[in-house]
Amino acid sequence: MQTISYITKKGQEISTVFEDLAQLRITVFHDFPYLYEGTVAYEMEYLKIYSEAERAFLFAVYDGSKMVGATTCIPLADESPEVRLPFEKAGFDIDTIFYFGESILLKDYRGLGLGHRFFHERETYARSFGTYKTTCFCAVDRGENHPLQPKDYRSNDAFWIKRGYRKETSLQSTFEWPDINESISTPKTMIYWKRDL
């Protein structure tokens, strides 16, 4: 672990590590439950939203020159319409909510406390503005007994609950991406988790 280092980037600065973040997202999200068949070109377009938001934040872990973990967050008001929609429909003041994006680690770096560090960094950053009351994120719902679910799969639900988050099944979005071995995007149900800051 002597080669481990940490970086933080905000707003436009995040674009300087887009390629590293894109590769990491493709690698980690390839596994269940996301089963994501990603491309760097798509990722680079998707990630632009972070460089366009002044208050967007990234915390990343490097082992030498390789990004091995990363997490992002952004004011919900700066997110895409499909992310904002369930909160707007439910009557939330989206200007008081901070949205947490990915929290991803390569397998060899899990179990070292970095997952907790990711939440701590994002929650501390959101609190620093003094105007945000809630943090939230979403996770894909693959249902029960998905054919590609590994036998040793363990969801993150217990970890998220321990961090103070509550699953809000009334708050849902639909995202589309191609599953592994597929060439076309198909809709996926995303369910939100949230907590008060």
Which tens digit of pLDDT belongs to each residue from 119-159?
Answer: 999 999 999 999 999 999 999 999 888 888 888 888 999 99
With contact defined as beta carbons under 8 Å apart, do 188 and 175 qualify?
Answer: yes
What is the SS3 assignment for 11? helix
Question: Quick one: pLDDT band at residue 2, thresholds 50, 70, 90?
Answer: low
Which tens digit of pLDDT belongs to each residue from 60-84?
Answer: 999 999 999 999 999 999 999 999 9
Chain-centre distance for alpha carbon 62: 18
Mean pLDDT of 157-170: 96
Architecture label for domain 4-196: 3-Layer(aba) Sandwich (3.40)
| Arithmetic mean of pLDDT over the chain | 95
Please tell me which residue, 149 or 117, carries the higher pLDDT value. 117
Q: What is the 3-state secondary structure (H, E, C) of 86-115?
A: HHHHCCCCHHHEEEEEEEEECHHHCCCCHH
